[in-house]
């Protein structure tokens, strides 16, 4: 089983419109509402793939908390919800139909008390006895104490559970220092966490910190999987032959789902890890909402172009 913890979940609101014009009024069809947050998206993809998964998240006892919990249960996703006070944050996506460009408005969320954060950690650790992989994914609530992510990583690894951390900022370095099996920054997060403008330097710093593998994503340029090799590192990249037109909001979460499933299956070949992650990520771009993947993902996986090293930049003209 894979346990996925989402420290700062959200109620995702998505509207589609022909084009977004700044400063103008737009008439749109009814929006789409669902439980979200990066970890919830990962759990949705794993559930859709038939992978045993448990989503762990705090859930507001008032306001939108009922909508959040009801949506997960209606979707059939096994959940462990930790009651917290304070409002559930909202994430708004405005998706332009012509290009698939998504404009996101992400609330920061409410600050949970130390007792509530401790309850979330306890609920997560209690579920690890049946787990092979723990995924910690998404932003952290305001005021989360330093050491939250590192503590989860160390506790899980002491139980023999592999850990994937898809977090940002200092928490990313924290996860690496704690010995996470894989950390997954995007291009911006890689620079912010490490201070390195060169992706190779950033990846090297995370590996030197103690991460066993780094999966760095670069949008339409693809992704790479790297691990230490001698005094340097070995990296393999994968991307689609052409950029895809669609909503890329949940693409990184689909890649994390692919990597988590492969860790459960014991896949260690970097090329296989990269190919499958790139293909499933592409399938998320072709889906309507974050947390979904197109049924064409097997074909997309086979089409992914795999090469040694870090992806090179290319023009991002959708095809």
Render each residue's pLDDT in the chain as its tens digit; 319 residues: 999 999 999 999 999 889 898 888 988 888 899 999 999 999 999 999 999 999 999 999 988 999 999 999 999 999 999 999 989 999 998 988 878 888 989 999 999 999 999 999 999 999 999 999 999 999 999 999 999 999 999 999 999 999 999 999 999 999 999 999 999 999 999 999 999 999 999 999 999 999 999 999 999 999 999 999 988 899 999 999 998 988 888 999 999 999 999 999 999 999 999 999 999 999 999 998 899 999 999 999 999 999 999 998 754 333 3
CA dihedral 51, 188, 90, 43 (to 10 degrees): 0
Beta pairing, strands 223-229 & 214-217: antiparallel
Angle at 289 between CA 288 and CA 294, to 5 degrees: 55
pTM listed for this prediction = 0.94
What is the pLDDT, as a whole number, of residue 315? 47
Fold of 2-17+32-308: 3.40.1190
The Cα-based distances of 304 to 241, 297, 299, 301 in angstroms read 7, 11, 9, 5
Beta pairing, strands 162-166 & 133-137: parallel
What are the extents of the domains in the chain?
2-17+32-308
């Amino acid at each position: 089983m894979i346990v996925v913890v989402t420290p700062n979940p959200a109620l995702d609101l998505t509207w589609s419109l022909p084009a977004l014009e700044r400063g103008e009024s737009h008439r749109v069809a009814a929006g789409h509402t669902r439980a979200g947050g990066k970890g919830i998206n990962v759990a949705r993809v794993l559930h859709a793939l038939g992978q045993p998964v448990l989503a762990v998240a705090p859930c507001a006892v008032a306001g939108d908390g009922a909508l959040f919990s009801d949506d997960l249960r209606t979707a059939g996703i096994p959940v462990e919800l930790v009651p917290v006070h304070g409002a559930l944050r909202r994430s708004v996506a405005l998706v332009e139909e012509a290009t698939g460009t998504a404009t996101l408005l992400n609330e920061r969320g409410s600050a949970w008390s130390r007792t509530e954060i401790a309850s979330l950690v306890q609920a997560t650790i209690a579920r690890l006895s049946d787990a092979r992989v723990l995924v910690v994914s998404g932003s952290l609530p305001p005021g989360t104490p330093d050491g939250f992510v590192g503590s989860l990583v160390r506790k899980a690894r002491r139980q023999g559970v592999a850990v994937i951390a898809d977090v940002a900022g200092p928490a990313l370095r924290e996860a690496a220092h704690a010995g996470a099996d894989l950390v997954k920054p995007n291009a911006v997060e890689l620079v912010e966490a490490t201070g390195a403008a060169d992706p190779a330097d950033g990846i090297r710093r995370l590996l030197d910190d103690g991460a066993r593998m780094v999966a760095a994503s670069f949008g339409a340029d693809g992704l790479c999987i790297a691990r230490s090799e001698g005094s340097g590192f070995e990296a393999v990249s994968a991307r689609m032959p052409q950029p895809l037109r669609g909503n890329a909001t949940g693409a990184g979460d689909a890649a994390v789902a692919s990597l988590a499933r492969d860790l459960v299956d014991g896949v260690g070949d970097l090329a296989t890890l990269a190919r499958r992650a790139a293909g499933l990520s592409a399938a998320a771009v072709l889906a309507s909402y974050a947390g979904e993947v197109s049924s064409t993902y097997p074909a997309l996986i086979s089409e992914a172009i795999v090469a040694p090293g870090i992806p090179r930049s290319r023009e991002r003209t959708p095809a």
